[in-house]
């Protein structure tokens, strides 16, 4: 399957990192499309992945992605806390964070929300897990901001291992009082203190 990658935003930093993350070592193995194939049949098998800045038109799609990913990553959270966070996502977090959306064929499939050099949230449609999309979003932001920090629930069996594989290191843990869950602070080597 062919894949086109494009970026929209104020900088081109990190493009090669994103391409390498999405294509990896298989770039040389990818067959070139047959010249005799029509544009119509080729477009049916190609996908276009893009990282771009958030707009308010994305809100409903990103909330839906958050709900699916949150259910998978945070089954231990109480329903009243999840309802509080859902409302805060719409009215506080998305409007005030620096948010980047990853979309495929014009449809949002995930987002990363930044507060300075800290990842405030990284959520990806579970159907797209394991395809390099989460790594691509972090790569994009690292290209803009340098080494990052993150806080993740200790019981998060999706997010915490992802950050560990990416190279984030344990800093400390504490009780997140609103949720009653233990939170782990992690950072990339060289990340500025919060």
pLDDT at position 192 is 82
What is residue 194's predicted lDDT score, i.e. its pLDDT?
Answer: 63
- Which residues of the chain fall short of a pLDDT of 50? 1-45
194 domain-assigned = no
Q: Residues 114, 117, 121, 127: is their CA dihedral positive or negative?
A: positive
CATH code at position 69: 3.40.630.30
> Per the domain annotation, does 167 fall within a domain?
yes
Residue listed under structure tokens 């104020």: 10
Any domain includes 192 = no
Residue recorded with tokens 């493009």 = 15
The pLDDT, as a whole number, for residue 33 is 37
| Residue span of the structural domain in which 112 resides | 3-187
Look at residue 149 and tell me if it is in a domain.
yes
In a domain? residue 193: no
Sheet hosting strand 169-176, strand order edge to edge: 3-7, 47-53, 98-104, 107-115, 118-124, 149-153, 181-187, 169-176
Q: What pLDDT is recorded for position 47?
A: 78
Checking DSSP bridges between strand 169-176 and strand 181-187, what pairing results, if any? antiparallel
Residue 52 lies in a domain: yes
Q: Give pLDDT, residue 46.
A: 62
**Could you tell me the pTM of the whole model?**
0.76
The number of distinct structural domains making up the chain is 1
For the chain, state the CA radius of gyration.
Answer: 18
Report yes or no on 51 lying in a domain: yes
């Amino acid at each position: 399957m062919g894949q086109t990658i494009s970026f929209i935003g104020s900088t081109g930093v990190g493009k090669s990192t994103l391409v390498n993350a999405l294509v990896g070592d298989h770039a040389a193995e990818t067959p070139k499309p047959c010249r005799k194939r029509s544009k119509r049949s080729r477009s049916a098998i190609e996908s276009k992945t893009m990282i771009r800045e958030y707009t308010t038109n994305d809100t409903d799609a990103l909330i839906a992605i958050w709900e699916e990913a949150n259910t998978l990553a945070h089954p231990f959270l109480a329903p009243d806390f999840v309802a509080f966070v859902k409302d805060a996502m719409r009215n506080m977090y998305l409007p005030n964070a620096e948010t980047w959306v990853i979309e495929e064929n014009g449809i949002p499939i995930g987002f990363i929300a930044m507060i300075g050099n800290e990842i405030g949230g990284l959520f990806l449609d579970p159907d797209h897990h394991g395809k390099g999309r989460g790594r691509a979003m972090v790569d994009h932001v690292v290209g803009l901001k340098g080494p990052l920090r993150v806080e993740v629930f200790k019981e998060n069996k999706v997010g915490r291992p992802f950050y560990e594989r990416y190279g984030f290191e344990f800093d400390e843990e504490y009780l997140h009082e609103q949720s009653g869950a233990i939170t782990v602070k992690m950072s990339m080597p060289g990340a500025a203190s919060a």
